[in-house]
Amino acid sequence: MDDQKPESVVNDPTLFVTAASLRGRSDWFIRLRWMSVIGVMTGVITADQIAGLPLPVKGIVITALITAILNVGYILHNRRPATSLNNEVRIVKVQMVMDLILLTMLVNLTGGIENPLYLVYIIHVIIASLIFKGKEIYQITGLAVILFTLETLGEHYRIIPHHHLMSASETIHEPLYMLMTLGAFWIVLIVAAYIGSTFMKHNRAIKDDLVQRQKELQDADKAKVDFFRFVTHEVKSPIITALSAVDLALDKNDGNEIVDNMLGRASRRLHQAIEIVKDLSDLTRGGMKSRGRKEKIDLAELTKKLLVSRKELIDSRNLILEADIPSSPVQVKGVPDKIEKILVNLIDNGIRYNHDGKRLYIVLMDVGSKVIFSVQDEGIGIKPKDQELIFEEFYRTPAARETSTLGTGLGLPIVKRFVEQMKATLKVESEPDVGSTFTVTFRKRL
């Protein structure tokens, strides 16, 4: 670990332990410590008043008070922002050492080896193995072993006072019995440290692997978006130039049918290329991060507006439009043109891939904190094996390619990206030749 690391490295989420995560755990210890202070105070009152155990109440209360005062110090420290990982590790270590010393004092005041309270050392070892790796775990374990051993031997050789628990048997203090108890304690502590560190080593390896894969995916996604952006930028002007030339030639053509046909076909293909460029630019616009200003949008009004603008197209296919849209506003918060793109793509697909004369059913529902928008058609449908592929760029099912030469295979990837950016969900249910339903569930977040 290096003190000189910049802040970005200090809080690097790819590290298993960061200054920020240590700070979070330190806050958690503070809460645990309050609980243990309350536990000790309750325990001492119970032992004294109810069980009638002759405990040195004053000493125990002082130990609990020291713990409480230190805890307040830790809280004050944690109010300042975390600086470096090294610093935080040092502070957590100091806290753990102080905790072990205070625990040893408490063990001494409550009967020493007679009291099973010494098992609490194991909790410290487990916590150490969750936070640290390698040598720090064994340092904490070693300290726990030394402190409890010194405490036990100190009491045995009467170097420090012993507080006898009424219920405890005197045999506990026989050297052999004492050594057996200490031996078992050492073994349990070392095994706990070993299991904890091995377990965490495994977890760290899994996390490292996941972080690595996530990074590779992000890099691949970024490379793809950069490539699309480059293509969009480079290809746009030549296509527009070619299209205006073709349109001009079509205009000037003096009735030659073959030329007319060829130029007409070229013009249509160039229009399609422009659609692809537009879609690619949408896809890259919503690139790595969500951009654009969020506003409140009335989905009821927007859906109605979109359906009116597509009335001619719907009529030309003899589709039976059924729209179940509330008359009152249905508001969601989001970037307006991204929301519009989602609705437009799903409605247009519902029209494009429907069978002539069939039903197109559009539903908008306000369901408390969520808004459901769905488009159902009775068209060509999508085979189960294609239902994931249709969200990949440029993928078009064979049935779709037969039905319509229009289409870029970019509409659904755009929908998917924008839906993810809005933390909405997208579901597809479909059966070949029966129809498809695409459902988006928006969060209102008003």
d(C-alpha 46, C-alpha 224), whole Å? 67
C-beta closer to ligand ADP: residue 410 or 419: 410
Give yes or no for residue 376 binding ligand ADP (CB under 6 A). no
User: By rule CB under 6 A, what count of residues binds ligand ADP?
Assistant: 21
Which of 338, 341, 396, 417 binds ligand ADP (CB under 6 A)? It is: 396
- 395's CB contacts (< 8 A; 6+ apart) are 386, 389, 409
Which of 63, 283, 407, 422 binds ligand ADP (CB under 6 A)? It is: 407
d(C-alpha 168, C-alpha 160), whole Å? 19
Tokens at 25, concatenated? 């755990």
Angle at 326 between CA 325 and CA 331, to 5 degrees: 100
Q: Which of the ranges 53-61, 103-111, 297-305, 395-403 carries the binding residues for ligand ADP, by CB under 6 A?
A: 395-403
If we measure between CA atoms, which residue out of 198, 245, 442, 436 comes closest to residue 339? 442
Which of 273, 350, 362, 371 binds ligand ADP (CB under 6 A)? It is: 350
Are residues 3 and 84 in contact, defined by beta-carbon separation less than 8 angstroms? Answer: yes
Give yes or no for residue 374 binding ligand ADP (CB under 6 A). no
C-beta closer to ligand ADP: residue 353 or 418: 353
**Beta strands 331-334 and 359-367, pairing class:** unpaired
Q: Which of the ranges 67-75, 83-91, 226-234, 373-381 carries the binding residues for ligand ADP, by CB under 6 A?
A: 373-381
Q: According to DSSP H, which parts of 80-119 are helical?
A: 85-109
Cα distances (angstroms) measured from residue 8 to each of 22, 81, 371, 387: 15, 14, 38, 40
Q: What is the DSSP letter of 384?
A: G
Tokens at 395, concatenated? 């993928």
C-beta closer to ligand ADP: residue 196 or 409: 409
In the complex, what is the shortest distance from the CB of residue 412 to ligand ADP, in angstroms, rounded to a whole number? 3
**Closest residue to ligand ADP in the complex (CB):** 411
d(C-alpha 64, C-alpha 68), whole Å? 6
Q: Which of the ranges 216-224, 227-235, 263-271, 342-350 carries the binding residues for ligand ADP, by CB under 6 A?
A: 342-350
Give yes or no for residue 345 binding ligand ADP (CB under 6 A). yes
Give yes or no for residue 410 binding ligand ADP (CB under 6 A). yes
Q: Which of the ranges 71-79, 209-217, 295-303, 380-388 carries the binding residues for ligand ADP, by CB under 6 A?
A: 380-388
- 361's CB contacts (< 8 A; 6+ apart) are 322, 323, 324, 375, 376, 377
C-beta closer to ligand ADP: residue 104 or 374: 374
Q: Which of the ranges 10-18, 214-222, 239-247, 348-356 carries the binding residues for ligand ADP, by CB under 6 A?
A: 348-356
Decide: residue 388, CB within 10 A, 0-12 exposed, 13-18 middle, 19+ buried. exposed
Radius of gyration of the chain from Cα atoms?
A: 35
C-beta closer to ligand ADP: residue 7 or 402: 402
Give yes or no for residue 286 binding ligand ADP (CB under 6 A). no
Q: Which of the ranges 57-65, 148-156, 187-195, 407-415 carries the binding residues for ligand ADP, by CB under 6 A?
A: 407-415
In the complex, what is the shortest distance from the CB of residue 426 to ligand ADP, in angstroms, rounded to a whole number? 12
Residues of this chain that interact with ligand ADP (CB under 6 A) are 345, 349-350, 353, 377, 379-382, 390, 396-397, 400, 407-413, 436
